[in-house]
Amino acid sequence: MNKRLFNASSGILALVAVAVYYGITAVLARYLSINNDVFEQWYLRYGLAFLTSLIIFYGKIDYKKFLHLPKKEWIVLLFRALIGNVAAVALYTLAAQDAKIGPVAFMQAFPSLALLAVIVMHEKLTMKKGLLILLSFVGVVIVVLENPHDLLSFNIGEIYSLISGVLFSFMFVTRKWHTGILNNQEITTALIGLGFIANYLLSIIIYRHFFVSVDHWSVQFGAVLFFASIASVGNFFFLNYGFERVSGIIAGNILNLEQIFGPIFGFIFYHEVLTSHEIIGGIIILIAVVAMNMQSKKEVSTLATPD
Q: Please, which pLDDT band fits residue 303 given cuts at 50, 70 and 90?
A: very low
Alpha-carbon distance of 119 to 307, in angstroms, equals 13
What pLDDT score does 107 carry? 77
**Mean pLDDT confidence for 149-167:** 75
pLDDT > 90? residue 201: yes
Least confident of 16-25, 69-78, 143-152, 246-255: 143-152
Report the SS3 class of residue 154: strand
User: Distance between terminal CA atoms of the chain?
Assistant: 23
- Do 212 and 40 form a contact (C-beta atoms < 8 A)? yes
**Per-position DSSP letters for 254-297, written without gaps between them:** HHTTHHHHHHHHHHHHH-----HHHHHHHHHHHHHHHHHHHHTG
More confident residue, 111 or 139: 139
pLDDT > 60? residue 1: no
What pLDDT score does 217 carry? 81
